[in-house]
Amino acid sequence: MTILTISGSLRDGSFNTALLDAAAEELGHEARFTRFDPGSLPLYNGDLDSDEHRPESVLALGDAIREADAVLFATPEYNHVIPGVLANLLDWASRPLGGTPPLRNKPVAVIGASPGLVGTARAQDHLKFVLMTIGARPLGGAGLLVGGALSKFEEGKLVDPETRRRLRELVDRLIRQAQARLEAA
């Protein structure tokens, strides 16, 4: 069982990247957690989107998603929507990339953290909508809105026990959804 994790924030010390680290710590005994860096991708350009011109990083994105049984996104919220960093990754990931678009039918989940109260609620909705449009399978049920991040992280690490518990519960559900899909296949 492999869970690919993708953070929408490129900065060092990102709360969202730290959320993904915490997920790997909590559930590392149940699944292998991998990471793809969306900062490695070029901005989408249709002229590069062909078998002759596709950049290495884009091929690596396709491989990373195809090798994963589920994908976990952590997104900041900029102007009430997802960062261009994630939007650009989705532009590439929604393309065939030499086969079937890799997110098609893939179990996915969305989490996010922010200093404010809303905890990226609006960006998470936006991301789930795009993932649904692409044909991925967003995890149902309660999500994880981590507001007030300044008091829940210390030195780049999620230290709030209740948030860690809810994170573990959510990722556990994602793993079970991925398992159910493997067994049905």
Crossing angle for the helix pair 84-93 and 121-134, to the nearest 10 degrees: 10
CB of 11 to its own copies, least distance (A): 4
Distances (CA, A) of 10 to 5, 18, 49, 89: 13, 12, 24, 13
Residue number with CB closer to its own copies (29 or 56): 56
When asked if residue 52 is in the footprint of its own copies (CB under 8 A), the reply is no
CA–CA separation, 158 and 14 (whole Å)? 11
When asked if residue 10 is in the footprint of its own copies (CB under 8 A), the reply is yes
Residue number with CB closer to its own copies (5 or 7): 7
Number of residues that bind its own copies (CB under 8 A): 48
Closest listed residue to residue 3, CA positions, set 65, 66, 71: 71
Residues of the shown chain interacting with its own copies in the complex, contacts defined by CB under 8 A: 9-12, 14, 38-39, 41, 43-47, 78-91, 94, 117-119, 121-122, 125-126, 128-130, 132-135, 138, 140-141, 145, 147, 184
